[in-house]
Chain A
């Protein structure tokens, strides 16, 4: 996947700011930060052309730790801040970092609208299924019945499936990765970066203080073979140590089968470029939670008009038609008279 044509002009260390990282020891955010710093030199971009934008939450501290430009905004609003920035400056690489509470609860509205507009921002949602910074309340991705400080008898809220939300919002790029696999994160982030439009990546991230082990059932080394389904474009969807499991489309529902029980033709062939999102949606909903086989990788990557460039084209078209800025003409545009 690595693009060898790019000669790195920076080293991972160039992307580290001088700020002390203050996440809890053992937090999954560290490995995501490392993956990002390691990836950056190979993307062919420079720190001064890169902006990380965030909202509020543990994940939202991310921009402080990258030696790029950064905005640590307010709760939920990062996609909106980033949209304004990406429109004003289509030349920049704009990344949005946030957690499940930030992006799916208080900022849910901004997330879905940024995705539907397809503005060129790269949204990384660190999903730890809990509110960390406020010290442990259930989040919009917490499972029903979760006992937390604000739900002592169990949460009554049905959770969001972040990928299903993104697909429902017409996101043109939708992917999932996890904090236990640096290479997979780097590959996924790279794909997001290369995408010409809004990219949405869910990162399963462990909060070792308030929700430790939430994804262990699928991301722990010994569980990965049985419970992670790596998606590869153009390949039949198979997983398991020896490829003994596969996924089929059973009347519009994805179902896990033993490959021995079906012919290879019956296995679903992954096509991330399919414009109809139904198959991606079906795959996004394959697992009911992080305790059974869960697909990771790129679910969807389709081409759609990018918002900021479309806006730039309108400016050019208007200049073509109305001529460039002329204040005197503007002030006379509604007719004048002389006294």
Chain B
């Protein structure tokens, strides 16, 4: 069966394909998509993935609420997004078809498990008539396949109970798609053996289903061709496939190594951030202590305590949790202790859309604490960038003794891309020194420790940890005297401390703006966070169409790069796509009096390249006409 050309079907070379696997949440679609991604990565394709989970764990079987999907785009060229519209949709049941068909590109291919299209399932999905034969699918290329039946037949000889037999049908689908896109079979067979080690019957059943799917493609004579996507010209080196939450977790673990500090994570489970807690909990051999707290507040408070004790402290959460942590973060601002808050933004307000991304916590990160409580804010731009941003956030936190907020989102969290592994020796040293000696004298000339005596360059205060003889001191949320840290209600001192805390954050060393694309264009697209991929791809398309476009993407949101205002003023138009009602627009307008134009979208789905392209094109055409 490794002879993929046995039926002499034409092998067509294509530059990319976007496949969306969709089924019931119990159908194993994420596993199927993951495995297809792994094989394609090993073949050297560039790729990008986007899982889509229902908010309910197991919604009733066969219903729209229970549809789980996984989109993967593979290509022979450099890509930055999982693609706008899938060109292939694998639908395991009517609900999956109904929920996902609108995503499919015109003329796209539909691979359907016809066995699932019975009256009961059709009714559950809300189909009045069977879409397989009522004309609904006329605009697409349909490939009806009785997946359940063939899977049952294939696994029967392995003694699998009929009820369990169908559970292997995702491997049938994977086999079929593997054949269609000429993926090798061995890696998947190995994967099945490893994944289900010790469960012989399951291994045999999944292997049989996978092979049946592969063979079906070859022999069923319903496909007119199969396809090949050649490797992409990626930079040479060693790659792994990583999603944003994993990269962020690894970044936190590695930051501890780079700072030579034990890592502490205080966290309370919340979608879509929980995987960070899970991943870091697996890294105890790195000395990482994870603490599943009783609530979001305790999670943040425990991080403050750990930071006081000398750990590199993190707390991970999403919007509702960041709201609860506000008071504790303002304590951390006042105590001037290093810690990093990982906010994986999701749709809101309130519970909102737990599994869907949004970028609407920016103002909360900036200002969502009582009084003047400034802290640095950074945002990763891609899944792999999450690794670097965790290290950068830790660097800032340690150097300036301040809490730092990282704004990732549900899209980056779960989406994955190939990551060229960094050279470990090239990673930055972010270590800082603890205070060990007196830094002042009292009126009698005796040495004393002044916990709020600042470094003149960074304005950071000394970090003296318990256990250090002689440096006993008390810190608290009450306003304190600069230098001594003693409680002070003096008006001048409060003004001074307010100003110092602000100056410290304003003075964080942030690299200058990098302009991508046509630096001398009339228009610049300003973005932050996860919109990078869509904006980058849109700018590429516009350039292909003859437009000049510049792109500035911010990783540091507080403070902003020092030259940002100057750079943006070079352009006739500044447009800013964000998944919110214009929060970065407002910040930049307020700070620089630059008329940033908002391109908004808050529907729980990341910007597509097409959406950014058409919005920016419209503006470019206006500029050309004016």
A64 to chain B, nearest CB (A): 5
* Number of residues from A at the complex interface, CB < 8 A: 59
- B231 interfacial by beta-carbon distance below 8 Å: yes
Give A77's nearest chain B residue, CB to CB: B301
Instruction: Report if A48-B284 is in contact (Cβ < 8 Å); known contacts: A63-B476, A84-B303.
Output: no
Partner of B298 from the list A80, A86, A323 (CB cut-off 8 Å) is A80
Instruction: Report if A339-B287 is in contact (Cβ < 8 Å); known contacts: A48-B472, A72-B476.
Output: no
A72 near B477 with CB under 8 A, answer yes
B301 near A331 with CB under 8 A, answer no
Q: Which residues of A contact B307 (CB under 8 A)?
A: 84
- A125 interfacial by beta-carbon distance below 8 Å: no
Partner of A89 from the list B291, B422, B466 (CB cut-off 8 Å) is B466
Give A121's nearest chain B residue, CB to CB: B305
**Contact digits for B282-314, partner A, Cβ 8 Å, 1 yes 0 no:** 011111110101110110011111111111010
Q: Give the complex CA separation of A339 and B284 in angstroms.
A: 32
Q: Which of B432-491 contact A (CB under 8 A)?
A: 465-478, 486-487
Q: Give the complex CA separation of A318 and B469 in angstroms.
A: 32
- A322 interfacial by beta-carbon distance below 8 Å: yes
Partner of B474 from the list A69, A77, A84, A88 (CB cut-off 8 Å) is A69
A327 near B254 with CB under 8 A, answer yes
Which secondary structure dominates chain B's binding surface?
mixed
Q: Which residues of B contact A113 (CB under 8 A)?
A: 293-294, 298
Instruction: Report if A51-B466 is in contact (Cβ < 8 Å); known contacts: A67-B472, A109-B295.
Output: yes
Interface centre among B264, B295, B298, B328 (most CB of A within 10 A): B298
A81 near B301 with CB under 8 A, answer yes
Give B311's nearest chain A residue, CB to CB: A88
Q: Which residues of B contact A71 (CB under 8 A)?
A: 304-305, 308, 335, 474-476
- B242 interfacial by beta-carbon distance below 8 Å: yes
Q: Give the complex CA separation of A49 and B241 in angstroms.
A: 45
- B41 interfacial by beta-carbon distance below 8 Å: yes
B424 near A327 with CB under 8 A, answer yes
Give B420's nearest chain A residue, CB to CB: A339
Q: Which of B263-297 contact A (CB under 8 A)?
A: 264, 266, 283-289, 291, 293-295, 297
Instruction: Report if A339-B236 is in contact (Cβ < 8 Å); known contacts: A74-B327, A83-B302, A88-B309.
Output: yes
Instruction: Report if A84-B471 is in contact (Cβ < 8 Å); known contacts: A73-B331, A109-B298, A311-B289.
Output: no
B234 near A70 with CB under 8 A, answer no
A336 near B335 with CB under 8 A, answer no
- B240 interfacial by beta-carbon distance below 8 Å: yes
A80 near B302 with CB under 8 A, answer yes
Q: Give the complex CA separation of A77 and B296 in angstroms.
A: 11
A81 near B285 with CB under 8 A, answer no
Interface centre among A68, A80, A318 (most CB of B within 10 A): A80
A227 to chain B, nearest CB (A): 36
Give A53's nearest chain B residue, CB to CB: B305
Q: Which of A295-339 contact B (CB under 8 A)?
A: 311, 314-315, 317-319, 321-325, 327-328, 330-332, 334-339
Give A89's nearest chain B residue, CB to CB: B309
A81 near B309 with CB under 8 A, answer no
B477 near A83 with CB under 8 A, answer no
Give B236's nearest chain A residue, CB to CB: A339
Give B247's nearest chain A residue, CB to CB: A331
- B238 interfacial by beta-carbon distance below 8 Å: yes
A5 to chain B, nearest CB (A): 23
**Contact digits for B356-389, partner A, Cβ 8 Å, 1 yes 0 no:** 0000000000000000000000000000000000
Q: Give the complex CA separation of A89 and B241 in angstroms.
A: 36
- B615 interfacial by beta-carbon distance below 8 Å: no
B474 near A72 with CB under 8 A, answer yes
A315 near B289 with CB under 8 A, answer yes
Q: Give the complex CA separation of A70 and B424 in angstroms.
A: 38
A84 near B250 with CB under 8 A, answer no
Q: Give the complex CA separation of A85 and B301 in angstroms.
A: 10
B280 to chain A, nearest CB (A): 11
A88 near B424 with CB under 8 A, answer no
- A213 interfacial by beta-carbon distance below 8 Å: no
B239 near A84 with CB under 8 A, answer no
B301 near A69 with CB under 8 A, answer no
Partner of A88 from the list B257, B264, B295 (CB cut-off 8 Å) is B264
Q: Which residues of A contact B284 (CB under 8 A)?
A: 314-315, 317-319, 322
B551 to chain A, nearest CB (A): 25
Q: Give the complex CA separation of A319 and B284 in angstroms.
A: 7
A49 near B467 with CB under 8 A, answer yes
B238 near A87 with CB under 8 A, answer no
Q: Give the complex CA separation of A77 and B293 in angstroms.
A: 12
- B42 interfacial by beta-carbon distance below 8 Å: yes
A88 near B421 with CB under 8 A, answer no
Q: Which residues of A contact B295 (CB under 8 A)?
A: 109
Q: Which residues of B contact A325 (CB under 8 A)?
A: 257, 285-287
Q: Which residues of A contact B235 (CB under 8 A)?
A: 339
Q: Which residues of B contact A46 (CB under 8 A)?
A: 469
B298 near A77 with CB under 8 A, answer yes
Q: Which residues of A contact B335 (CB under 8 A)?
A: 71
Q: Which residues of B contact A255 (CB under 8 A)?
A: none
Q: Which residues of A contact B327 (CB under 8 A)?
A: 74
B285 near A318 with CB under 8 A, answer yes
Partner of B477 from the list A67, A74, A315, A323 (CB cut-off 8 Å) is A74
Q: Which of A44-76 contact B (CB under 8 A)?
A: 46-53, 56, 63-64, 67-74
Q: Which residues of B contact A63 (CB under 8 A)?
A: 474, 476
Q: Which residues of A contact B231 (CB under 8 A)?
A: 339
**Contact digits for A1-44, partner B, Cβ 8 Å, 1 yes 0 no:** 00000000000000001010000000000000000000000000
**Contact digits for B397-423, partner A, Cβ 8 Å, 1 yes 0 no:** 000000000000000000000000110
- B208 interfacial by beta-carbon distance below 8 Å: no
Give B242's nearest chain A residue, CB to CB: A334
- A92 interfacial by beta-carbon distance below 8 Å: yes
Q: Which residues of B contact A328 (CB under 8 A)?
A: 424
- A91 interfacial by beta-carbon distance below 8 Å: yes
- A275 interfacial by beta-carbon distance below 8 Å: no
- B237 interfacial by beta-carbon distance below 8 Å: yes
Interface pairs (25), CB distance under 8 Å:
A48-B471, A50-B466, A56-B477, A64-B476, A71-B475, A73-B301, A73-B331, A73-B477, A77-B328, A80-B293, A81-B302, A83-B305, A85-B306, A88-B310, A89-B465, A109-B294, A319-B284, A330-B250, A330-B254, A331-B421, A332-B240, A334-B242, A334-B246, A337-B239, A339-B237
By Cβ-Cβ distance, the 3 closest A-B pairs, closest first, are A72-B476, A84-B302, A84-B305
Given A71-B476, A91-B467, A314-B284, 13 more pairs with CB closer than 8 A: A71-B475, A72-B476, A77-B328, A81-B308, A88-B306, A89-B465, A322-B284, A324-B285, A328-B424, A330-B254, A331-B240, A334-B246, A338-B236
